């Protein structure tokens, strides 16, 4: 029987939440330690199905202080990247147990920081805590194990960061949280599902990344001096002008209308040009979940293009945020605009 080694990293999140006052269902949910989670899932034990029947060897690591995912920062992304790097040669796959609120941000960030990734890094969690009688935690974690330990189950080894949730396998940097109450939790609005984990597991090889040809390494630097601006009717352009004067600010993500459209007023265009002239990287993504930014389609979009605004194509907000932070943290200014337009880790489609 083939055997495989999997590293499971527990960071916190709803999956491992328990009541602050044990036995009091009215007390707030707070993160619990790994032992709380492991006790609720006996299949992870040495006598459980995965180890006894499939020969999978698990190693468990945990953040020293497990957290709600709303507390995540780029420092945590760097910490995860370092853990994967230090253990890369020892394991066949990695599972990151994570809260759902910022899961898509972490998945996107890791897709950029983990360079030349040749093994599956699966991120999962749950909408209900593992102690809940209707929890989705057990099936999500079981599915993640199947993908991380692919060779044991005669499945393709997928060399990328993925979100495994509610019987769906999604490219990490194409995912977005779509619901806080539905078990589906996540969607991939502009890219097909990589796999379906129903009674039989189906992987769509044509949608997965090619194995790397260079050695694995990490680049876990992220620039946090960016801001996200959502346009709305009546938006005050003076806000952009004031941002242009902020010497610490490095980048602006502009969430525009439709296929990348924005007001064409003189004050708005002047403010945009001021941002670009002051060396701020300005990225245009749509407020629509589905669709493609094409700044050459309408005059209102062409105005942005002529100002030096970069197209975000069909990137999700999470992927655009992570990509901007990563590029600004790792690349020289002369290459950033060019790299934004390139599909680096499967995060965008090209026209």
Q: Tell me which DSSP letter residue 219 carries.
A: -
Q: Cα dihedral angle (48, 202, 11, 223), rounded to 10 degrees? A: 160
Q: Residue 322 contacts by C-beta under 8 Å, 6 or more apart in sequence?
A: 105, 108, 109, 111, 112, 173, 222
Q: Is 208 a catalytic residue?
A: no
Best CA proximity match to 316, nearest among 108, 122, 141, 153: 108
Rounded Cα–Cα distance for residues 29 and 153 (Å): 36
The single residue of 4, 11, 14, 256 carrying the catalytic annotation is 14
Helix, strand, or coil (residue 226): strand
Phi, psi of 187 (to 5 degrees): -135, 160
Q: What angle do CA 186, 187, 191 make, to 5 degrees?
A: 145
List active site positions.
14
């Amino acid at each position: 029987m083939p055997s495989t080694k999997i590293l499971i990293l527990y960071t916190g999140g709803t999956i491992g939440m328990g009541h602050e006052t044990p036995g009091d269902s009215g007390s707030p949910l707070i993160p619990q330690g790994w032992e709380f989670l492991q006790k609720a899932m006996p299949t992870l034990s040495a006598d459980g199905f995965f180890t006894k029947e499939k020969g999978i060897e698990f190693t468990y690591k945990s953040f020293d202080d497990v957290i709600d995912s709303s507390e995540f920062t780029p420092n945590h992304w760097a910490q995860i990247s370092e853990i994967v790097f230090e253990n890369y040669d020892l394991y066949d796959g990695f599972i990151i147990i994570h809260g759902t609120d910022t899961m898509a941000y972490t998945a996107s960030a890791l897709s950029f920081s983990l360079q030349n990734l040749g093994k599956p890094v699966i991120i999962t969690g749950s909408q209900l805590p593992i102690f809940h009688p209707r929890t989705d935690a057990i099936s999500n974690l079981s599915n993640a194990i199947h993908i991380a330990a692919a060779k044991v189950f005669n499945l393709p080894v997928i060399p990328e960061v993925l979100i495994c949730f509610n019987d769906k396998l999604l490219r990490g940097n194409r995912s977005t949280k779509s619901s806080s109450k539905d078990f589906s939790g996540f969607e991939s609005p502009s890219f097909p599902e990589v796999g379906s984990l129903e009674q039989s597991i189906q992987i769509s090889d044509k949608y997965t990344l090619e194995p790397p040809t260079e050695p694995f390494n990490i680049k876990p630097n992220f620039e946090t001096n960016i801001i996200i601006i959502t346009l709305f009717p009546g938006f005050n352009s003076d806000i952009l002008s004031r941002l242009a004067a902020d010497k610490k600010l490095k980048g602006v993500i502009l969430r525009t209308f439709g296929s990348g459209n924005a007001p064409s007023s003189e004050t708005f265009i002047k403010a945009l040009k001021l941002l670009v002239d002051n060396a701020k990287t300005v990225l245009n993504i749509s407020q629509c979940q589905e669709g493609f930014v094409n700044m050459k389609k309408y005059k209102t979009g062409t105005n942005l293009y002529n100002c030096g605004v970069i197209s975000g194509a069909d990137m999700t907000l999470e992927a655009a945020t992570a990509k901007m932070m990563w590029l600004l943290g790792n690349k020289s200014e002369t290459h950033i605009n060019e790299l934004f337009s390139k599909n680096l880790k499967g995060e965008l489609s090209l026209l």
